[in-house]
């Protein structure tokens, strides 16, 4: 069984608890290393990494099903139908 552990964050130097349930989760996922950063520093690092990606270019389109104006992450060629989010989701589920 697992017991709560107090670890020190390598980023900010603060102590944080690596709970028994977190340890169990890490074991289920096959992670062998304990976390080196506290939850706050992990979240900040994750946000920083996400911010480094370029913004995806979106293109205007008209939904083939409902006629609503929308944007899509590809240049519509006109030879295939384009759907807004609301009309696309039910179609995607049926594939």
pLDDT digits (tens, 9 = 90+) for 21-36: 999 999 999 999 999 9
Q: Whole domain around residue 72: which residue ranges?
A: 59-93
Do 83 and 67 reside in the same domain of the chain?
yes
What's the pLDDT at 49? 75
Of 37, 41, 4, give the one whose Cα is nearest residue 22. 4
Do 47 and 70 reside in the same domain of the chain?
no
What's the pLDDT at 90? 84
Do 16 and 43 reside in the same domain of the chain?
yes
Query: Is there a contact between 29 and 44 (Cβ–Cβ < 8 Å)?
Result: no
**Tokens 């390598």 -> residue:** 10
Give the CA distances from residue 25 to residues 20, 28, 43, in Å, rounded to whole numbers and listed in that order.
Answer: 9, 5, 18
pTM given for the model: 0.51
């Amino acid at each position: 069984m697992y017991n709560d552990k107090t670890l020190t964050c390598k980023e900010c130097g603060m102590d944080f608890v690596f709970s028994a349930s977190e340890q169990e989760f890490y074991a289920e996922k096959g992670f062998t290393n304990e976390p080196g950063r506290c939850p706050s520093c992990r979240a900040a690092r994750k946000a920083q990494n996400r911010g480094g990606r370029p913004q995806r270019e979106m293109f205007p389109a008209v939904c083939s099903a409902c006629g609503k104006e929308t944007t899509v992450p590809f240049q519509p060629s006109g030879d295939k139908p384009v759907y807004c989010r609301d009309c696309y989701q039910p179609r995607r589920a049926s594939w």
